[in-house]
């Protein structure tokens, strides 16, 4: 009975896994193609299970054997894409246990899930960890009211509450210089852009984003998401200043677009060589991938990176602490774009038809 089920299910399941591996190699913006980049870990695990079944029942026929060989290649490819986000890989960001006094900052990023009403658990994280900046996503007027408890300790704030799940709030202990809310690509999707003054007087550029995800309920294509990410990446890459880009990017760390973002911007990913730090879906353990990101320029070393406990949202919050270090650029290599990378990024930005730019006021 069991062997009969294996014989029946193995070919179509193997074919599905192969198709899901191959589809993202096509650079089309259709949501159902780009979404196949998300479950690389899951495809790899299921693929291994299917391959392990060959030990129970050897595939019969040349076609089935070829299918299993192709599946083996696909599992190897998924492992290749995932490998940089394991502790076995080299770390992209150097760690430090002695941050320069006054030259470090900590940032908590949390997609709150707009309808979630467990604000007290998020506030517990903030009160316990006391980060310098708290960036909350999917915040509506209810969340603005509940998070007003932070106002006593966080004297600087940017509020853009919305009822469409794209609202955002920034609370900061550190001075914010020229904070702006922009709608870079879509009229209902804001982003926050500001400088942050550290205690040493150093300035850090901060870009906080939450583009739409690739799913039919939100967006049939990733054109706008990719354009927004690459607009920011292009701006970051044009200036050699300490910079942080953070938020729920609705894209996974290993996707083509996110890797292109790193190349165009020169930003580093502190997860590389440390772990996946999967933040979504907090409610479905097997369907998790890293959607919430903190990228930074090579001016910083890493003090701490932590995925925090859930608080009722479908995302786990993330805490990162970075130290501005004049020696950091000497020991950390920036990702570099090729001419083709830059051309592709420009094409994607142009296709998104931007509404605003990053280097001018509203």
> pLDDT at residue 361 above 50?
no
Q: In which order are the strands placed within the sheet that holds 292-296? A: 175-182, 191-197, 203-209, 243-248, 292-296
**Residue 359 located in a structural domain:** no
Q: Residue 320 CA to chain centroid, in angstroms? A: 13
| 156-130-91 Cα angle (round to 5) | 105
Helices (H) and strands (E) in the chain, counts: 10, 11
Same domain, 307 and 203: yes
- Predicted confidence at residue 2, as pLDDT, reads 44
- Residue 35 covered by a domain: yes
128 and 51 in a single domain? The answer is no
- Under 8 Å between Cβ of 148 and 331: no
Give the whole-angstrom CA distance, residue 274 versus residue 86. 6
Least confident range from 190-194, 275-279, 299-303, 355-359: namely 355-359
Q: What are the φ and ψ backbone dihedral angles of 252, each rounded to 5 degrees?
A: -90, 160
71 and 126, same domain (yes or no): no
Mean pLDDT, residues 133-150 taken together? 97
Picking from 334, 356, 331, 213, the residue whose alpha carbon sits closest to that of residue 264 is: 334
Q: Assess if residue 113 is contained within a domain.
A: yes
What mean pLDDT, rounded, does the chain reach? 93
For residue 358, the model assigns a pLDDT of 85
Render pLDDT for 91-100 as a digit per residue (tens, 0 to 9).
999 999 999 9
| Residue 316 domain flag | yes
**Rounded mean pLDDT of 262-272?**
98
Provide the pairing of β-strand 318-324 with 104-111.
antiparallel
Q: Using 50, 70 and 90 to split pLDDT, how confident is the model at 67?
A: confident
Q: Assess whether 23 and 149 both reside in one domain.
A: no
pTM of the model: 0.94
Same domain, 175 and 77: no
In a domain, 179, yes or no: yes
User: Span 211-225, mean pLDDT?
Assistant: 94
Say whether both 120 and 22 belong to one domain. Answer: no
Residue 111 has pLDDT above 80, yes or no: yes
Residue 7: which pLDDT band, with cuts at 50, 70 and 90? low
**Residue from 194, 193, 263 nearest 234 by CA:** 263
Say yes or no: 227 and 254 in one domain: yes
Identify the pLDDT of residue 53: 79
Distance CA 34, CA 21 (A): 11
pLDDT for 52 equals 83
pLDDT at 289: 97
Answer yes or no: is pLDDT of 202 > 70. yes
Residue 30 and residue 154 share a domain? no
Q: Percentage of the chain surpassing pLDDT 90?
A: 87
User: What pLDDT sits at residue 62?
Assistant: 52
Average pLDDT of the residues in 149-170: 97
Final residue belonging to a domain, choices 55, 85, 115:
85
Place of tokens 């805490």: 319
Same domain assignment for residues 231 and 336: yes
Same domain membership, residue 248 and residue 206? yes
278-312 pLDDT per residue, tens: 999 999 999 999 999 999 999 999 999 999 999 99
Structural domain that includes position 62: 2-85
Please indicate, yes or no, whether residues 269 and 190 belong to a single structural domain of this protein: yes
Residue where a domain terminates, one of 54, 85, 116: 85
Number of domains in the chain: 2
Let me know whether 275 and 312 are in one domain. Answer: yes
């Amino acid at each position: 009975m069991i062997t009969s089920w294996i014989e029946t299910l193995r070919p179509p399941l193997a074919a599905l896994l192969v198709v899901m591996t191959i589809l993202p190699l096509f650079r089309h913006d259709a949501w159902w193609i780009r979404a196949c980049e998300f479950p690389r870990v899951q495809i790899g695990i299921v693929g291994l299970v299917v391959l392990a079944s060959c030990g129970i029942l050897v595939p019969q026929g040349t076609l089935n054997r070829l299918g299993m060989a192709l599946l083996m290649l696909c599992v190897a490819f998924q492992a290749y894409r995932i490998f940089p986000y394991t502790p076995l890989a080299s770390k992209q960001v150097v760690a430090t246990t002695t941050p320069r006094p006054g030259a470090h900052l900590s940032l908590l990023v949390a997609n709150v899930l707009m309808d979630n009403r467990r604000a007290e658990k998020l506030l517990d994280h903030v009160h316990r960890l006391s980060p310098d900046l708290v960036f909350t996503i999917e915040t509506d007027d209810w969340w603005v009211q509940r998070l007003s408890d932070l106002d006593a300790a966080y004297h600087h704030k940017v509020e853009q509450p919305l009822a469409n799940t794209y609202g955002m709030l920034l609370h900061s202990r550190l001075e914010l210089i020229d904070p702006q809310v922009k709608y870079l690509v879509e009229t209902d999707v804001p982003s926050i852009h500001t400088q942050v003054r550290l205690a040493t007087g150093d300035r850090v550029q901060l870009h906080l984003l939450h583009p739409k995800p690739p799913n039919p309920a939100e967006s049939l294509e990733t054109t706008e998401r990719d354009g927004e990410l690459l607009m920011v990446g292009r701006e970051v890459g044009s200036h050699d200043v300490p910079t942080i880009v953070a938020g729920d990017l609705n894209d996974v760390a290993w996707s083509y677009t996110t890797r292109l973002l790193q190349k165009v911007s020169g930003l580093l990913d502190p997860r590389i060589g440390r772990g996946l730090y999967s933040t979504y879906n907090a409610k479905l353990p097997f369907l998790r991938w890293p959607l919430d990101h903190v990228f930074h320029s090579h001016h910083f070393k890493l003090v701490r990176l932590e995925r925090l406990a859930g608080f009722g949202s479908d995302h786990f919050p993330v805490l990162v602490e970075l130290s501005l270090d004049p020696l950091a650029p000497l020991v950390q290599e920036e990702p570099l774009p090729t001419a083709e990378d830059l051309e592709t990024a420009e094409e994607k930005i142009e296709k998104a038809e931007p509404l605003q730019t990053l280097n001018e006021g509203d």
